[in-house]
């Protein structure tokens, strides 16, 4: 048969396949979510996230060092306070759990890039992402507290802040607050396209952040909507977001691509707790190759247009990159 075009020619050897690879991943693109809790000498496994732990401030250095040794240079910190109240005061307290964690991390691992998740759900007694007015989250009253939270994290040592609350106008409020206090160079990575997703279940156990009543569908997005995702991303860029995020990652590759094509800023994707837990559970049952699925999930996000990949598999992916399995 006379075939001039034979795509299989470029698949013949491992060297050639890697030479013509279209999607490439670097360890510097990975970020790891870390949970920091009150107490001393705490390293507590999270039952719904096998292999993931809550660390007290005095124990987190071992994990941070482990990540840096693997080549993962960015960490997204989540704080779990001992006490909560209706206005989430622990989120913006100078001596709050995540603020103390930033100070310690900056001191013990100065080369690590520290990102602060800016939200209130871990800190409010009701579990919602802002101040309540009756049974509803008061958008505008929440903005000032989010801005105070971001400022407190930067003052404590955060290199970047990442608002995840989905309040309208939060990026502008945070940008204005940081600029007014001399932090014009601190970037904001917004959870711009964050859906009300069932993939978040394990995280809510990990961070003790499930709402006591109702749900978050009045502020997190409806997963049926594509145009609304673009609207949110473009609004955040207009308000001053330096990076925009799509969350979750695995089921939303189409929107990662859309956001990438319609904005001029880097795009992050968060491979969330449910994605990790499903892979772990299926692997434990012997149904899938965990490493293979982990790599395929990551590559799919980068292929869709991701520049920064937030994942609980960061250390394992870094190892796969070193081994040439992906990258």
Is residue 192 predicted with pLDDT exceeding 80? yes
Q: What is the pLDDT of residue 322?
A: 94
pLDDT at 219 over 90: no
Which position among 27, 247, 280, 315 bears the catalytic label? Answer: 247
Average pLDDT, the chain: 94
The confidence score (pLDDT) of residue 204 equals 72
316: CB partners within 8 A, 6+ apart: 291, 294
From 27, 63, 84, 194, active-site residue: 194
For the chain, percent of residues with pLDDT exceeding 70: 98
> Over 90: is that where the pLDDT of 274 sits?
yes
* Residue 242 or residue 127, greater confidence: 242
Q: Is 141 noted as a catalytic residue in this protein?
A: no
CA–CA gap between residue 239 and residue 216 (Å, rounded): 23
Centre a 10 Å sphere on the Cβ of residue 171 and count the other Cβ atoms it contains: 26
238 is catalytic: no
pLDDT at 163: 97
Q: How far apart are CA 143 and CA 126, in angstroms?
A: 18
22-33 average pLDDT score: 95
Mean pLDDT is lowest, of 13-27, 203-217, 263-277, for: 203-217
Give CA–CA dist 105/57, Å, rounded.
9
- Give the residue-averaged pLDDT of 144-153: 97
Confidence label for 207 from pLDDT (cuts 50, 70 and 90): low
Buried b or exposed e, range 235-263, using 16+ CB within 10 angstroms: bbbebbbbbbbbbbbbebbebbbbbbeeb
């Amino acid at each position: 048969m006379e075939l001039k075009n034979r795509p299989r020619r470029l698949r013949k050897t491992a060297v050639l396949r890697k030479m013509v690879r279209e999607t490439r991943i670097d360890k510097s693109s990975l970020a790891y979510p870390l949970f920091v809790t009150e107490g001393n000498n705490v390293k507590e496994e999270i039952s719904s996230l096998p292999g993931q732990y809550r660390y007290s401030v005095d124990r987190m250095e071992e994990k941070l060092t482990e990540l840096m040794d693997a080549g993962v240079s960015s960490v997204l910190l989540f704080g779990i306070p001992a006490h909560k109240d209706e206005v989430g005061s622990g989120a913006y307290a100078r001596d709050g759990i995540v603020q103390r964690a930033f100070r310690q991390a900056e001191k013990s691992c100065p080369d690590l890039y520290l990102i602060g998740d800016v939200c209130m759900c871990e800190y409010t007694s009701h579990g919602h992402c802002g101040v309540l007015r009756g049974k509803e989250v008061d958008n505008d009253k929440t903005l000032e507290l989010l801005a105070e939270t971001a400022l407190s994290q930067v003052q404590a040592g955060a290199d970047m802040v990442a608002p995840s609350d989905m309040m309208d106008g939060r990026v502008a409020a945070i940008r204005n607050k940081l600029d007014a206090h001399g932090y014009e160079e601190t970037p904001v990575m917004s959870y711009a396209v964050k859906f009300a997703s069932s993939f978040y279940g394990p995280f809510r156990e990990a961070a003790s952040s499930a709402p006591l009543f109702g749900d978050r569908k009045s502020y997190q997005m409806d997963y049926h909507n594509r145009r609304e995702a673009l609207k949110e991303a473009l609004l955040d860029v207009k308000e001053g977001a330096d990076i925009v995020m799509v969350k979750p990652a695995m089921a939303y590759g189409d929107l990662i691509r859309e956001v990438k094509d319609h904005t001029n800023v880097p795009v992050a994707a968060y491979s969330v707790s449910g994605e990790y837990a499903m892979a772990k559970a299926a692997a434990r049952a012997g149904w899938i190759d965990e490493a293979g699925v982990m790599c395929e999930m990551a590559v799919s996000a980068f292929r869709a247009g991701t520049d920064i990949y937030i994942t609980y598999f960061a250390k394992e992916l870094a190892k796969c990159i070193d081994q040439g399995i992906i990258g």
